[in-house]
Amino acid sequence: MLDIAAELHRWVGQGRDFAVATVVAVGGSAPRLPGAALAVDAGGTAVGSVSGGCVEGAVYELCAQALRDGESRVERFGYSDADAFAVGLTCGGVIDILITPVREGDPVRPVLAAALAAAVHREATALARIVAGPAELVGRAVAVRPDGTRRGTLGVHPALDRTVTAEAGAFLDAGRTGTLEIGAAGSRCGEPLTVLVESSVPPPRMIVFGAIDFAAALVRAGTFLGYRVTVCDARPVFATEARFPDADEVVVAWPHEYLERTAVDGRTVLCVLTHDAKFDVPLLERALRLPVAYVGAMGSRRTHLDREARLRAAGVTDRELARLRSPIGLDLGARTPEETALSIAAEIVAARRGGTGVPLTGAHTPIHHEAPAAGRTQPMGAGIGTTS
C-alpha cells in the first residue's frame, strides 16, 4: 500500500472514503511483489495495480464491496487451466490479496493515515497488518517508527502489540516487505496469525564518483530507478550543479575522503567512473570493505588489470576484489553515455534482484527474480513464513 502513498495521503486529506487491496503473498510468476496495491475511492476512482492488469477488474469490485460492507478479507487469484478466460493470472502465478476498507470512523484509518504521511515525507515507517487468523482480526494494523514507537493497536493483548512492533522494526531496519507467522501461544488469541509488514524507507543512495559525461547519463538513470543520487569529484570545475541538474547533490571532495565521512548502507550502490588510479585506488580500497550493495568501476580490461594489481599491492584481498564489478555494466555493446548508463543500471538491477543478465528469449530462467539475500514469500496456502 505504501507504494501509492502519495495519492492515498491526498485522499485522506480530502476526507475521501476508500478501500485498498494489497498483495500479501505471491507464487509462481505473479507480476507484482508483496506490498503492491490498488485503491478505489467511494466515487469509483482507482489508483495503483496488484497484477499488471490480469485481475484488476475483479479486485476493483472487491474494493467496492468492502466500501459497502466494511469488511476486510483476503482473496486468492491464480491460473485456471480449465478456463483460460476465468478471472485469474494468465501468467500462471498465484497472488493473495488483502482488501481493507478505509472509511471515516474505521479504527484502521488513523493508523494507515500515519503510515501514509510518513511515507510521503520520506520518513521510515513500517505498517503491520493481520492477514490471516480469526476473521474479526483480519485487517487490523499498527504503524511502527524506527525508534520503536507505535501508532494503533491490534486489539488483542499488549504482548501481541509488543511482539509485532519488534518484528516490524526488524523488517524496517532491513528495508524489507514480507510476512511473518506468530504461533497460537504468541498471538494471545488462541490461533496462529499471519502478519504482512510493509516497510517504507528513504530512497537508497547511488554515489557516482567522477564528474564526466557518462556520469550525467548515469545520474538520470539512477534517478529513474528511484535512487537518491550524489555526484562526487575532486575537481570543482567539473563537479557543478549546472552540469548535473538531475543529481540530488554534487560534492567537491576527494572521493575516498568523501566516502569515509558519508553514510552508506546495504542498499547503497557505488559507481566509480574516474578510471584514474590516483582517485580509484584509495577509493576502491575503502569501498570494497564497506557493506554496500554494489561497487562498480569503469575502465578497459587493461585498466582493470592495472587497477587490480594496485589494489592488491594496497592490501585488498582476493575476497574483497571479488565484489568489484569491473569493467562496470553488462555487455550491451554500449557506446554512448546513455547506452553505457543503461548497461550499468541493468547490472545494478540484476545484482539487486538476482537476475542473470541473459536474454529471456529461449532461456529457462524465471522472469521475476529476488536476490538470494531477499528471500521469497510463499502463497498463503503453502504456509507463509518470515521472509528474509
* 223-269 residue pLDDT tens: 999 999 999 999 999 999 999 999 999 999 999 999 999 999 888 99
**Which of the pair, 230 or 188, is modelled with greater confidence?**
230
Q: Which domains are delineated in the chain?
A: 1-105 (no CATH), 107-202 (no CATH), 205-353 (3.40.50.720)
pLDDT of res. 92: 58
pLDDT of res. 32: 74
Assign 360 a pLDDT band (cuts: 50, 70, 90).
Answer: confident
- Taking the C-alpha atoms of residue 252 and residue 55, their distance in angstroms, rounded to an integer, is 50
Q: What pTM value is reported for the model? A: 0.69
Complete DSSP assignment for 52-105:
TTSSHHHHHHHHHHHHHH---EEEEEE--SS-TTSSS-TTS-EEEEEEEEE-TT
CA 83: distance to chain centroid?
34
pLDDT of res. 83: 42
- Taking the C-alpha atoms of residue 327 and residue 290, their distance in angstroms, rounded to an integer, is 20
pLDDT of res. 353: 84
Indicate whether 206 pLDDT > 50: yes
State the DSSP code for 267: T
Indicate whether 141 pLDDT > 80: yes
Indicate whether 381 pLDDT > 60: no
Assign 356 a pLDDT band (cuts: 50, 70, 90).
Answer: confident
Per the structure block, which three cell numbers stand in for 214? 557518462
* 31 close to 54: Cβ distance less than 8 angstroms: yes
CA 264: distance to chain centroid?
17
Residue 113, CB half-sphere, CA atoms under 13 Å: how many?
18
- Taking the C-alpha atoms of residue 64 and residue 74, their distance in angstroms, rounded to an integer, is 14
Omega of the bond leading into 337 within 30 degrees of 0 (cis): no
CA 12: distance to chain centroid?
24
* 50-106 residue pLDDT tens: 876 678 888 999 999 999 999 999 998 876 544 434 455 555 578 899 999 999 999
